[in-house]
Structure 1
């Protein structure tokens, strides 16, 4: 790890704050190119950085060797000792000017053409399949951390900041914006890679609708809004390791997804339903989604 980000990178503007702290646009004093700086404060012990952080950073660095087109590039990692007990780790990423939220907002009426949505989704799935094959779960996918270059290239960002997980390990429910949260996260059940597929399904619908599909105000409200669309799951499908009961919700039967996403094609609707499947074990994977007939349309 390089020693001090402040020496090499000159902050130009604050891009925004996320679950992981403030993000800055900065200029590399040597090359002159723009980068995005994300700093994380890490509690240190007498041996320096905790092993888990070193491992996470090492994995992110290893991903760079693949140079995946749909994943934001990690250019550098800097560590600065702040106190005896705290180290500031700064991750230096390539800078992309706009995110998917801005990109969708800027699209002239009536919104993005179907072929463009298909292209964006395919790139998104490619990036996700790559992360999942490297045992990385994103956990916080939303339009704000999907970047889109001026040439329409999709790049996933912020994935390295969620905890790296071993493929089947249950995670403590933390982060993730409410509107894109999978039911198992809302129910505080165990979860893994399928949570990212659910979030991507929500984003897929939003590309057509130009507004979010499920806008809940609390976990229970969010679940209620989901069941209005996909129907109330059966008692058998309900996870056993949760405190909230299936009987807490009104019995909704599922409605055609085209009621909510009218512009979507028949194959698009089929893929969307496979992504918005309540049971995470039956939800489609990123790799299988790429083989879906939807991507052969047009």
Structure 2
């Protein structure tokens, strides 16, 4: 069962288990929702939750929703967007988004990069972004511990839950069922 200690840091210390049992969720914006068998747009999802395959113009499916869910879980646990891309003078918001993803998840394998329609919009060659070159590698457990005060154990456990949902290859990304069976969710 999910309990406050799963959230780590200050938020986990402030919540009681009874608080989590009374949470109500309201789905308010289905503006970009579509049927899985009949997508109507190449651009879906709110920018900070947008899956890499959507950014790069690849066909998408339910794995894109898993990516978004991981981003949302991070935000709910920390109060901060996992990816909060911003445009710059010489690069777009999408450029920054791809760069932030690479900083967190590492180099995108060439077989994935160049199989996508918009790859040349972002990359000059495998792993080389066109408009951003100074990437600073980050680790998810490090972000959770350093920026949000999580213990190394809690940070590692939450990262182990999120990272399979952020796999670059959509077909290798964790499914909803796999995520629900993950030890981080199942632990008391």
TM-score by length of 1: 0.46
Residues 205 and 212, structure 1, Cα contact 8 Å, conserved in 2: yes
Q: Which has the higher contact order (CA 8 A, sep 6+)?
A: 2
Unaligned residue ranges in structure 1 (runs of 5+): 1-108, 121-149
Task: Say yes or no: does 1:276 pair with 2:166.
Answer: yes
CA distance in 1, matches of 2:115, 2:14: 40
Aligned to 1:256: 139
Deviation at 1:171, TM superposition (A): 5.2
Residues 171 and 190, structure 1, Cα contact 8 Å, conserved in 2: no
Deviation at 1:256, TM superposition (A): 2.9
Residues 230 and 253, structure 1, Cα contact 8 Å, conserved in 2: no
* Greater fraction of residues in helix: 2
Kindly tell me: are residues 214 and 194 of structure 1, through their superposed partners in 2, closer, same or farther at Cα, counting changes over 3 Å? same
Kindly tell me: are residues 234 and 116 of structure 1, through their superposed partners in 2, closer, same or farther at Cα, counting changes over 3 Å? farther
What's the C-alpha RMSD, in Å, of the aligned pairs?
A: 3.1
CA distance in 2, matches of 1:239, 1:172: 21
Other structure's SS at 1:110 match = helix
Aligned to 2:52: 183
**1:99-140 deviation digits (Å, cap 9, x = unpaired):** xxxxxxxxxx922459879x97xxxxxxxxxxxxxxxxxxxx
Larger Rg: 1
Aligned to 1:194: 63
Residues 232 and 251, structure 1, Cα contact 8 Å, conserved in 2: no
Among candidates 152, 162, 185, match of residue 295 of structure 1:
185
CA distance in 1, matches of 2:136, 2:170: 19
Among candidates 24, 45, 48, match of residue 153 of structure 1:
24
CA distance in 2, matches of 1:227, 1:113: 32
TM-score by length of 2: 0.70
Other structure's SS at 1:206 match = helix
